[in-house]
Chains A and B, each alone.
Chain A
């Protein structure tokens, strides 16, 4: 009975279908960059909070406006003010939150897996909707509804929509999980989650402090000052937490990868289990070819970057739902040392060019050795000529040259003369 009364009075009954439609539209429209990573889909689905929050603000302003026009906000209450506030706001915020979480789950399902959204993401959504509701409710208790309605819509909308344009870049992580989360080797940043929840809580508290009160039940000045200090501290704390971060609310993903095979073993995230099936037979061919020529292979090809990548450990990135040729090309790229920015420079005698040449000729040699189609590895006439010359040598000599190229890449030095491309 009380729940029904709360739903009726708060207007949550009309909010629910609006929020649900907006959420589903949003969840269905986009597709995450990594189409097989449920977290990326969930974050994309939860972006509907940008549209649902203004609706929650409007509904809360409507509730506040009803109390205002009935004269209730000017009358003293027996119950504490915070309980009245909480009772009026809870149904509206909860309905919006459920709609956003349903959208997040739907986004996750579209990205390949049913799972509840991570608690951090759900907490950020809840804090943002609570802030939108609190500000809308406060506007409704002070202003006539024709004025409170646009204020309640536009304030949450701008606060949530504007962050992707904010500078400095780290500031964006204070106002929710906006975009850029996540690639398969990333997870939601704990710092961004904490900062967003703190900001949402601070704005909610601000909204509570701005609610119109009866003259004989004011917030006493010490409590008002303490509230202002808490709001400022929370905002400052959120800024300190995210200071120095990049624009995206991500951190390196940790956890257990699925590993198969040996020398090299290939380790992928559980979401790429299907791609592993395609890659395994190809690695058998790679091992056979390496055994015949004596080329040194990396020990581990991994999708995880939680451990520093140093030769003989390299990074492999398997595109989800990609064809066999693309997956083979990805493995081919990971057979070579990755300097990760160590070999730098811009002119043709710089370490960056030495590395690039070594990588190009080695991949072309592997492609020829494994009989891959020409489209797998880009080739030009000079490169084809060099590879042909190398492959005309006895196999052990070929292995020595490829190993020399790998060593040259690791140390950012020039290639052996016979393999040089310029």
Chain B
């Protein structure tokens, strides 16, 4: 277990997790004018955008292990891996809340919601495209929704930019996407994994 965690705690992943967290905590009210189709750029607070980078860092850590060996072990890596991601998200949210309280930042709960929601998007991307491409999926989602959906327009796929206090649907959708991400994905049987190791 410790070996598996060490294999995932790569410096690059840790930097990718921590730097955006600092950004969320300290600069979350700074607006990033994201280009939008047909209209002027829409100003999205960094606190709503940066969680996709933190999640990319978390998911990139998943690529650090040795899947064949882990699947062949007696532990349920399918479950543990998802637990690792959800716990990582929760720890990231704790850091966000702490930093935001220290800096009196106004968009804390949007950032927390987006950490969970983007995590779900990344896990769905991982199931569909593989672990290498999964890190880019939440970023592409965040940019694409900013380009196609006017923030605060209540479009369901723009949940990441809905105001947390007045639109509880944003929370519901983020949790739903997280559940979808945790639930989906191919579950490789131990026998198949052993076959992979043998043939390798």
Contact = CB atoms under 8 A, between A and B. Distances in A.
A11 to B, nearest CB: 13
A154 B53 contact: yes
B16 interface: yes
B22 interface: no
Contacts of B32: 158, 161-162, 165
B13 to A, nearest CB: 6
Given A51-B147, A144-B10, A144-B12, A150 B56 contact: yes
A149 B135 contact: yes
Contacts of A150: 16, 52-53, 56-57, 60, 135-136, 139
Contacts of B37: 25-26, 29-30
B13 A47 contact: no
Contacts of B83: none
Contact of A161 (B35, B56, B139): B35
B33 A161 contact: yes
Contacts of A149: 56, 132-133, 135-136
B87 interface: no
B89 to A, nearest CB: 16
A58 interface: yes
A247 to B, nearest CB: 12
Main secondary structure of the interface of B (DSSP, over half): helix
Contacts, number: 76
A397 to B, nearest CB: 51
A161 B41 contact: yes
**Residue among A54, A58, A161, A165 with the highest chain B CB neighbour number at 10 A:** A161
Interface string B114-126: 0000000000000
Contact of B38 (A30, A51, A144): A30
Interface string B37-56: 11111010000000011001
Contacts of B135: 146-147, 149-150
A144 B16 contact: no
Interface string A122-155: 0000000000000000000001111101110110
Given A161-B35, A164-B33, A144 B41 contact: no
Interface string A171-208: 00000000100000000000000000000000000000
A339 B29 CA distance: 42
B31 interface: yes
**Residue among B30, B31, B63, B132 with the highest chain A CB neighbour number at 10 A:** B132
Interface in A23-65: 25-26, 29-30, 47, 50-51, 54, 58
B59 interface: yes
A146 B12 CA distance: 10
A175 to B, nearest CB: 12
A146 B59 contact: yes
A149 to B, nearest CB: 4
Given A51-B35, A164-B41, A144 B63 contact: yes
A161 B34 contact: yes
A336 interface: no
A150 to B, nearest CB: 4
A144 B139 contact: no
A146 B131 contact: yes
A269 interface: no
A154 B136 CA distance: 10
A50 B140 CA distance: 13
Contacts of A164: 33, 41
Nearest to B138: A150
A157 interface: yes
Contact of A47 (B35, B53, B56, B139): B35
Contacts of B13: 147
B99 interface: no
Contacts of A25: 37
A165 B134 CA distance: 30
Contacts of A147: 10, 12-13, 16, 56-57, 60, 135
B107 to A, nearest CB: 16
Given A146-B56, A147-B60, A149-B56, 9 more contacts: A47-B35, A54-B143, A144-B63, A147-B12, A150-B16, A150-B135, A161-B41, A165-B32, A165-B33
Interface of B: 10, 12-13, 16, 30-35, 37-41, 43, 52-53, 56-57, 59-60, 63, 131-136, 139-140, 143, 147
The 3 A-B residue pairs whose C-beta atoms are closest, nearest first, are: A146-B60, A29-B37, A29-B38
Interface of A: 25-26, 29-30, 47, 50-51, 54, 58, 143-147, 149-151, 153-154, 157-158, 161-162, 164-165, 179
26 contacts: A25-B37, A26-B35, A29-B38, A30-B39, A145-B132, A146-B56, A146-B59, A146-B134, A146-B135, A147-B57, A147-B135, A149-B133, A149-B135, A149-B136, A150-B57, A150-B60, A151-B16, A153-B139, A153-B143, A154-B53, A157-B143, A161-B34, A162-B33, A165-B30, A165-B33, A179-B40
